[in-house]
Structures are given as C-alpha cells and as structure tokens.
Amino acid sequence: MVIKDPHVSQVVYREITPQSPRLWLTFDAQEGQEVYLELGVPAIERLKNFRPALTVLGPGLPAVHLSFETPAGMGREVYDTETVKEPRTYHEPFTGTDSWVWREIRFKVPATGKYFVVAYVPSGETGKVWVALGEQESFGLLDIFRFPGWRSRTRQFHELK
C-alpha cells in the first residue's frame, strides 16, 4: 500500500494469514524527516499473546537478516515486541474500539528515498495487526460522509457489532 504523506495520521488493518503473512506499506521520505509509527493489535482475548514485529526498510539503514525476502540494496531497522512486557491499552473514541499498542516508534530517516514498513509475525502465527503512521490529523468534507463505513469496518476488524 502506497502512503502518500507519512505525516498524516492514518491506520492500516490487516489479518495475518498463511496466504498473506505480511503487511507492506511504502512511502517516499527526505533525509532527516521524522516518521511516527505504531504497531498494535485489537484487544481481543485470543490475541493477548500475539506478538507482531515491524521492520523499516530503506537506504542508509544497517544490514540485518530477515526471514523473508526484501528489495535489494536496502538496510533494515527491526522493531520486535518480544521484549515488551505489557502493551499500552488504547481506546479509540470515534469507533469505540480498544487495542493493545505493542510499539510506538519515532523513526528518523537517514537518507532520502523510498522506504517500506513491513508488519509481520516472527513466530508464523496468524492474527490481526494494525500499523498507524503520522500524527497530523487531516479530514476533508467527504470524510464526514465516509466515516460511517470506516467505523463499521473498524468495528468488524475488532470483532465488535
């Protein structure tokens, strides 16, 4: 999924399955730019021990081995959740959903270029993840009309009626 502006607050939801084991996002960034990222899961009891990870791929990052194929010539910054003792609980008031936030990252871009953010589960388990980017709220008039559909889909992802 192409992210046009990583400064604008947005979230992407994905069910991790054997057929779709990773969520890939991409954006262009300038050297020195700060990118805000969060990695979370819906607060559903069966996902309490679900431990996703996040990696950022791009120019100027160190070489790190991953268990999956990545674009050539890119370094990696890996953010796992194995060392996080307790996730932060987050209630989203507009949708009435609750999540566990496993990682909150402020990533400083080391070199201008194309970057990828990949959410995956090192253990190979299946479950649900979301990745949020950006902190700048930006809503247009059409978004008011789209909100009921967004709310419904978000609640379904969190397994709420």
Helical (H) or strand (E) element with 141: helix 141-157
Asked whether residue 39 is assigned to any structural domain, the reply reads yes
Number of domain units in the chain: 1
Instruction: Please tell me the predicted confidence (pLDDT) of residue 66.
Output: 82
Asked whether residue 98 is assigned to any structural domain, the reply reads yes
**SS3 assignment, position 93:** coil
Instruction: Please tell me the predicted confidence (pLDDT) of residue 158.
Output: 95
Question: Tens digit of pLDDT for each residue in 105-150?
Answer: 999 999 999 999 999 999 999 999 999 998 777 666 666 666 667 7
Rounded to two decimals, what is the model's pTM? 0.88
For 1, 49, 95, 148, 158, the CA distances from 117, given in Å and listed in that order, are 10, 22, 25, 28, 22
Asked whether residue 2 is assigned to any structural domain, the reply reads no
Write out the residue range of the structural domain in which residue 114 sits. 10-157
**Which regions in the chain score pLDDT beneath 70?**
138-148
What CATH number has the domain bearing residue 107? 2.60.120.680
Asked whether residue 122 is assigned to any structural domain, the reply reads yes
Asked whether residue 129 is assigned to any structural domain, the reply reads yes
